[in-house]
Structure 1
Amino acid sequence: MELGKTAVVLGGSAAGLCAAGALAPYFGQVLVLERDELPAEAEHRRGVPQSKHPHFLLNSGRRAIGELFPGFEDDLIGAGGLHLMPSMDAAYLGGEGWSARKRSSMTMVYSSRILIERVLRDKVRDLSNVVIREGVSVTGLTVRGGGTRDGAVTGVDFSTPTGDEHVDADFVVDAMGRGSSVGNWLVAAGWPEPEVRTLDAKVTYTSRWYDLPAERPPSWWWQHLVVMPTLDKGEHPAEHEFLVNFFPIEGNRVIACMGSWGIEMPRTADTFVESAGRVRTPLFAAAMARCTPTSEVHLTRSTGNKWRRYDRWANPPLGIVFIGDSICAFNPFYAQGISSASASALLLREHLARASRLDAAFHTRFLVAQRKLLDVPWRLAMARDQGYECAVGTEKLREWRRRIVAAASGPAFNLIVGAAREDDAVDEHFAKVFNMEESLGEMMRNPRVLAGLVRYRIRAALGRHRVPYGFDPQVDPPARDYSAATR
């Protein structure tokens, strides 16, 4: 059912492309307005500086994009993406040491952000009623009745190299990211300032791209290397607090990445290599030394969590919704951005499919459903970031509460990880939480999960571990498959 003649998407990155896929069946034409000139191949561009860092495409995101664009995952793998099982293909150095390898139900597709977007662009360009206009800047909105019950967005103003233009719109999607000006334009038009929830844990991360050697060393059974921050409370190098990834992507390449909460990070190639030599395991620096660097060091600081609560407006504007970072941006450490954006786009398509008209009831229903969707990754981000003393923002806890969160979150996480190592049911639900397929609260209310946690805690107290862990970080991670130990 066609719900309007023209829909306009502001922004042509992953969120905007997914939004275009959601709108295409319900509007005569979908116009995507993008500031950058979009490359034909998988290349970096100015509008997506975070493309130079690792990007996990969580299972919820894989599924959402696959429903919006059938065949997406096959095309991504066909273009070079790697379909891996992290529990078998990743060497994971937890707080206590290397984890054992074992099979699990969770798989992931590894690739660069630029390849994800290239495949998405190809999918969008296959839609006959979608037009992408590049090299244009959105400059404003036209509205009627700003701030009233019937207030609506009716069009979009934008500039091009040849002059200013306007397009009337039956529906608009703001997908312009963290820096979107749409909220300011709506306030100027009569809507109230939206409530904004924030928490910035001062996360900084730095990455460098490498070509892998033509032949991998025999000891490299792993393809992905993960180093978690230390549990040691004593004296140690600052680099022991880093979260480290040696992240595989297409083209026999990796992205070496180090990040931290509130610690100054290396900015040059020399200091990057020096810092790598001081992380918790020598394997990270040794692996980098066997590879060929192909980029400079890229550093990002724009990592705060920010949720613009448009859902709390008494009279939200008709004719516009918000997808991706333009409404809710997360600490990128938690890999929730693309998956949350694509899930919101799929949710939008589902609501459009059930709508007979785009009235106030439609917008209210969508905003309520989107709030519930975003609350899951938001709570996960808060669960960790609120424990850091350096965090600032509206969601910063009182010091006594912060100390409790900081003291409890580490042991709680290690309990769940330990139980997941030995209990397939806990492992399955923990993977769903990681992939935003289930909330942490839902997992912790599951009787089977609770029983698994209690059983693991008792067995651990008795020293009866089914799967060994805590292998020495100073030596290579063990290659043995311990899958049979959980059966």
Structure 2
Amino acid sequence: MRLGKTAVVLGGSAAGLCAAGALAPYFGRVLVLERDELPDGAEHRRGVPQSKHPHFLLNSGRRAIGALFPGFEDDLIAAGGLLLMPSMDAAYLDGAGWSARKRSAMTMIYGSRILIERVLRDKVRELANVVVREGVAVRGLTTADGEVTGVRFTADGDEHVDADFVVDAMGRGSPVSGWLAAAGWPEPPVRTLDAKVTYISRWYDLPAERPASWWWRHLVIMPTPDKGEHPAEHEFLVNFFPIEGNRVIACMGSWGLEMPSTTDAFAETARRVRTPLFADAMDRCEPVSPVHLTRSTGNKWRRYDRLRTRARRLVFVGDSICAFNPFYAQGISSASASALLLREHLSRAERLDAKFSSRFFAAQRGLLRVPWRLAMARDQGYACAVGTEQLPEWRRRLVAAVSAPAFSLVVGAAREDEVVDEHFAKVFNLDESLGRMLRNPRVLAGLVRYRVRAALGRHRVPSGFDPQAEPPATDYSTATAAAR
């Protein structure tokens, strides 16, 4: 204990568990208040409906969680998580057809959200001064002299706990800003953009023996770049996503389009996506769940950093401060990075005063700006997008016209240029901003060189393989090495 007797975390999901790990070295007791009864194993629960959909754990998130909980990555893999290299282990359909298979700078751990949280809960249980109370409804905060002093909640009855520090990890629907407003603080300005993303998932058991043609573990189908007439399903982003236990999650998502919600309609819709491989793969597997549909996908950033006056001894992590379109797989990684940032600031703090609050929120703003701008770079191009970050129509059309070709240019150049590949992996994993990558002279040279070579038909690594055929298994890594 160095900064206080008791710290309280509101919410026991991934963000709250990471926050508990950040707080543990600096307070005598860390109390996590969670509404659900938490399962011992990897099981779904009411408070995390998105657990039924695919979750990437980006490299920045892997490192942040590993710093908070040493051994996390090894434990996750031991529990069934899959350490894969997407460029070698995924069949990727982008642009006109399948991309080539090759080694790259990026690896990822695949696993379900419920497995990630189960391993996190196990790590938290190893912390002697962390207590998780389940079945608790948080009702409000107590405040005095400009700072939060405690938390009111209901378990068997009404209770109150004095707190030296509070972390809000209650997610998108957090009521904390309303409680603060009722106590006299200004509400933070909120930036929003809802691109009307809907996605549907169904879980499957893989066959005991994989077909010989399945060199791939992960199947990705990007929306078509074709501007002519085509089935609506060609606009879908599709994943056949591997998880632990020899299972996969088949997922389809779209921006502003209707999605099926029944099992029959799910199977019929799958047959109209850009390649028959997706539906054929599902046919070889055994369904083990109904269809799960999610529409709560808007980007939302509560800008507490912009307040001149804010409640001291209170910070926010995860979706309670910044929620992203889940398509971009930024949630857990951003939340864990915020928790690690909090630990770093606590390690240097002498007092939890206004200066501490200002410094932390300023640093967190810089951290969140990277994933936020990535989400805006695509979502602002959709005509269906609404919110404070909605663009004038001429700018929206420009973004829509530029974003997809620019992304394909970077992906194509990364196939042939190891430096572009390295920086693209950093951007994808939230280790570098898109702007910083595009200001790098060597990256720009690689993009220009790729563009010129493409115009001359001199690709080192082929692409655009027929989407109606099986994706090629050939390893083109040596062609990339020749570009050094």
TM-score normalised by structure 1 residue count: 0.98
Structure 2 residue corresponding to 1:481, chosen from 472, 475, 484: 475
Q: After TM superposition, give the deviation of residue 194 of structure 1 in Å.
A: 1.0
1:155 counterpart (147, 150, 159): 150
Q: Secondary structure at the match of 2:114?
A: helix
CA distance in 2, matches of 1:96, 1:61: 32
Amino acid of the residue matched to residue 205 of structure 1? Y
Separation in structure 2 between the aligned mates of residue 322 and residue 215 of structure 1, nearest angstrom: 46
Structure-2 separation of matches of 1:325 and 1:12: 13
Aligned letter for 1:244? V
Which residue in 1 is equivalent to 2:65? Answer: 65
User: Is 1:49 matched up with 2:43?
Assistant: no
1:185 is displaced (CA, Å) by: 0.2
The separation in 1 between residues aligned to 2:377 and 2:419, in whole angstroms, is 22
What whole-Å deviation, never above 9, does each CA across 1:94-132 have from its counterpart, x for those lacking one? 021100000012110000000000000000000000000
Residue equivalent to 1:99: 99
Cα deviation code 1:29-62 (max 9, x no counterpart): 0000000000000000000000000000000000
- 2:87 aligned partner: 87
Secondary structure at 1:474 match in 2:
coil
Q: Residues 239-295 of structure 1: CA distance to partner in whole angstroms, max 9, x if unpaired?
A: 000000000000000000000000000100000000000000000000000000000
Q: What is the rounded CA distance, in whole Å, between the counterparts of 2:310 and 2:445 in structure 1? A: 44
Secondary structure, aligned partner of 1:457? helix
Which of 420, 440, 443 is the aligned partner of 2:437? 443
> Greater shift after overlay, 250-259 or 187-196?
187-196
Q: 1:486, CA displacement in angstroms?
A: 1.0
Residue 336 in 1 paired to residue 365 in 2?
no
Equivalent of residue 399 in structure 2, options 402, 405, 410:
405
Residue of 154, 160, 169 corresponding to 2:163: 169
- Per the TM alignment, residue 238 of structure 1 is displaced from its structure 2 partner at its CA by 0.6
Question: Helix, strand or coil for the counterpart of 2:220?
Answer: strand
Query: Residue 209 of structure 1 aligns to a residue in which SS?
Result: strand
| Residues in 1 aligned to 2:30 and 2:131: alpha-carbon distance in whole angstroms | 6
Match of 1:466 in 2: 460
State the distance in 2 between where 1:431 and 1:437 align. Answer: 8
Amino acid at match of 2:34: E
Whichever residue aligns with residue 17 of structure 1, its letter is L
Identity %: 82
Tell me the amino acid that sits aligned with residue 158 of structure 1. Answer: F
**C-alpha distance in 1, partners of 2:471/2:354?**
57
Q: Secondary structure at the match of 1:244?
A: strand
After the TM superposition, which parts of structure 1 deviate over 4 Å for at least 4 consecutive aligned residues?
none
In 1, Cα distance between equivalents of 2:404 and 2:284: 33
TM superposition shift of 1:363: 0.5
- Measured in 2, the distance between the counterparts of 1:95 and 1:270 equals 29
Task: Give the whole-Å Cα distance in 1 for the aligned partners of 2:122 and 2:407.
Answer: 40
TM-score by length of 2: 0.99
- Structure 1 equivalent of residue 119 of structure 2: 119
One-letter amino acid matched to 1:159: T
* Partner Cα separation in structure 1 for residue 182 and residue 95 of structure 2: 49
Structure 2 letter corresponding to 1:331: N
Q: How does 1:407-446 map to 2 (within 5 A)?
A: 407-446=401-440
Q: Give the whole-Å Cα distance in 2 for the aligned partners of 1:104 and 1:416.
A: 14
CA deviation after TM superposition for structure 1 residue 144, in Å: 1.4
Structure-1 residue corresponding to 2:282: 288
**Paired residue type of 1:375:** R
1:439 CA drift (Å): 0.1
Aligned CA RMSD, in angstroms, stands at: 0.6
Partner Cα separation in structure 2 for residue 215 and residue 415 of structure 1: 37
- Aligned-partner residue type, residue 155 of structure 1: G
- Equivalent positions of 1:121-140 (< 5 A) are 121-140=121-140
Structure-2 separation of matches of 1:486 and 1:105: 12
Deviation digits for residues 395-442 of structure 1 (CA, Å, limit 9, x no counterpart): 000000000100111111111111111101001100100000000001
CA apart distance, 1:461 = 1.1
Q: Which residue of 2 aligns with 1:300?
A: 294
Q: Which amino acid aligns with 1:203?
A: V
Q: How many residues align?
A: 481
Unaligned segments of structure 2, at least 5 residues = none
Measured in 2, the distance between the counterparts of 1:311 and 1:130 equals 28
